[in-house]
Structure 1
Amino acid sequence: MRYSHLISQIESFSGFCHLGAGLSVGLSGLAAGYAIGIVGDAGVRGTAQQPRLFVGMILILIFAEVLGLYGLIVALVLSTKS
């Protein structure tokens, strides 16, 4: 009975770690999707007028997708801490 308070704290910590992991994946995925949408729209319009912009657009899209991967990495680290 003396350890019930300690067990409750451990369960709380684990719950908040999982909440943080979910938020990091969700929000980084949202930001990456928004960035990809903006860059994709502007990039396609720019590439239609000047085809040499295609490589730059692809590079910027790669950097935008990395945001989602960083969120996934943070979530994996958080879930292993709990």
Structure 2
Amino acid sequence: VPNMRPSLPSWSIIPVVMAGIIAIYGLVEAVLIGNSLTPRITLFKSFLQLEAGFSVGLSRLVAGFAIGIVGDTGVWGIAQQPRLFMRMILILIFTEVLGLYNIIVALILSTK
């Protein structure tokens, strides 16, 4: 059976790329926290960094689940109805923003 939609494989890679961007946000925060560690760190600063790490990890977990569910359902949907592509992208962008907002919160916490 010939491929009826040759653009479908390129559309299907978008959720994977967005999940990779979520991972990069976590890596950036891990590097920032790791570089700010010193031998004479205060307990307050340690707990702020721990809280920043937990918030980054939990928000990445939630955003990753959302991107996985929306990406899977969206790819199946655009295979049947290509007009759903833009709707899938909008929902993926909103789930990506969860990670972006939280990296701002984590940066504020880890730089106090």
Match of 2:72 among 14, 31, 41: 41
Deviation at 1:68, TM superposition (A): 1.0
CA distance in 2, matches of 1:17, 1:52: 45
CA distance in 2, matches of 1:30, 1:74: 16
TM-score by length of 1: 0.82
Runs of 4+, deviation exceeding 6 Å: none
TM-score by length of 2: 0.61
Deviations 1:44-76 (CA, angstroms, capped at 9, x unpaired): 111111110000000000001111111211110
Runs (5+) with no aligned partner, structure 2: 1-40
Deviation at 1:19, TM superposition (A): 0.4
1:67 aligns with 2:98: yes
Matches within 5 A, 1:3-14: 11-14=42-45
Deviations 1:12-69 (CA, angstroms, capped at 9, x unpaired): 2111100011011111111111100000000011111111000000000000111111
User: Secondary structure of 2:42's partner?
Assistant: helix
Runs (5+) with no aligned partner, structure 1: 1-9
Aligned to 2:58: 27
More helix by share: 1
User: Secondary structure of 2:60's partner?
Assistant: helix
Computing the radius of gyration from Cα coordinates, the structure with the larger value is 1
Aligned to 2:47: 16
User: How many pairs align?
Assistant: 72
Query: What letter corresponds to residue 78 of structure 1 in structure 2?
Result: L
